[in-house]
Amino acid sequence: MTHAAELRRLLASQEPVLALAPMQDVTDLPFMRLISGSGNADVYFTEYFRVLPDSRLDRDILSSITQNPTGRPVVAQMIGNDIAALVRTARELQLHPVAAIDLNLGCPVPIVYRKCAGGGLLRDPERVDHILGALREAIQQVPFTVKTRIGFDDTEVFEELLPIFAKHALDLVTVHARTVKEMYRSAPRYEFIARAVEELPCPVLANGNIYSADKADEVLALTGAAGLMIGRGVIRNPWLFRQIREQRRGSPIFRPSGRDVLAYVHALWEAVTTRGIRESSQVANMKKYMNFIGLGVEPTGAFLHQIRRVHTERDFFTICEEFLDHDNVMPLEPFQLALKESDVMAGEVR
């Protein structure tokens, strides 16, 4: 069975689909391999391929498709606004074992949306319409999917977007229930996902603040979605997909100890380490993961405060061992820590 056929089978199943969200500079080949050993998603989404008139497929991102270590379907995500370039890239991607091709309509990074790409396209529904029409014609061998937010700076456009999505016979739509300008700083409005489920003829995945098996059940019940896409929650808790499945089966849920989390941090270090670069750069790279893992370690913020200030591997693991070298069960659900406004997780951090 091809990966595309497997994805279609999953979407037709009665069981909720569990997808790893596309996270730039995170969901690469090593991270996918690591997560697949902790519980495995049903489907993985790549980092986005930046599509420009003169762009070529990024070799590192492509490796997560051609060297897919998970045994599960991998969806290739594109970001851009040049129709000819998007069509060309979609055709190139169909020459590789992709399960589907996804268009990013939700990236909230200012440098992206200011160029009218990602979430910036939500300010121009007419352009979205033209892009989807061209891509729908070009993508015939595999499913064509979209990941969107519920608007740019308000939600009024959502009512305009839903008929556009329906018009182009998309195979799957993932809805992150915040606007682009909200980033991750507000509570998701799951009622918009429920509206998409009701109005769209294709399956819908719910995305945003799914941080535990209980929360997964809540979001599925609130939205009626065909499944869940989870990103930051899996960085913090790589066993989350496993725990969701266990809870839905009525089985005992795996509850990791501090040492389990410590082993995960060691494995993450080995997975993402690039040989030959400076030690301080290796530590700095790990901090982007620890910003999420640290939210589930302890409630005072002391762990995050200390881990953000280290520069050597020795100091990094000394602090990790101080907080995690124990057999106590870890909650891993995010504590409500006081964060700076500049933190990517500021405000509603879950």
Q: Residues 109-128: what's their mean pLDDT?
A: 93
The predicted structure's pLDDT at residue 346 = 34
Q: What is the pLDDT of residue 23?
A: 94
Angle ∠(246,252,222) on CA atoms, nearest 5: 45
Full-model pTM:
0.94
- Rounded mean pLDDT of 39-65? 97
Instruction: Give the pLDDT confidence score for residue 340 in this predicted structure.
Output: 60
The number of angstroms, rounded, from the C-alpha of 134 to the middle of its chain's C-alpha atoms is 25
**What is the arithmetic mean of pLDDT over 42-71?**
97
- Is the pLDDT confidence value at 225 over 90? yes
The rounded distance, in Å, linking the Cα atoms of 302 and 309 is: 11
Contact of 18 with 226, CB cutoff 8 Å = no
Reading the block at residue 250, the tokens are: 């009525």
Residue 53, number of CB atoms within 10 A of its CB: 9
What mean pLDDT value characterizes the chain? 94
The H-or-E segment that residue 45 falls in is: strand 43-50
User: Is the predicted pLDDT of residue 349 greater than 70, yes or no?
Assistant: no
Query: What pLDDT score does 277 carry?
Result: 87
Q: Report pLDDT for 339.
A: 60
The pLDDT assigned to 344 comes to: 47
Average pLDDT for 23-30: 93
| Helix and strand totals (H; E) in the chain | 15, 8
What is the DSSP secondary structure assignment for residue 25, as one 8-state letter? T
CATH number of 3-249: 3.20.20.70
Per the CB < 8 A criterion, the answer to whether 44 and 74 are in contact is yes
Identify the residue whose tokens are 């939210």: 295
pLDDT at 33: 96
State residue 251's pLDDT score.
Answer: 96
Residue pointed to by tokens 């892009």: 131
**pLDDT tens, 280-312?**
999 999 999 999 999 999 999 999 999 999 999
In angstroms, rounded to a whole number, what is the distance separating the alpha carbons of residues 217 and 249? 12
Domain ranges (residues) in the chain = 3-249, 258-324
Rounded-to-integer distance, Cα 71 and Cα 42, Å: 9
Give the pLDDT confidence score for residue 343 in this predicted structure.
54
Whether the per-residue pLDDT at 97 is higher than 70: the answer is: yes
Catalytic residues: 107
The predicted-structure confidence for 195-216, as pLDDT tens digits, reads as follows 999 999 999 999 999 999 999 9
For residue range 130-185, what is the model confidence (pLDDT) as tens digits? Answer: 999 999 999 999 999 999 999 999 999 999 999 999 999 999 999 999 999 999 88
Q: pLDDT tens digits for 309-327?
A: 999 999 999 999 999 999 9
Q: What percent of the chain shows pLDDT beyond 70?
A: 96
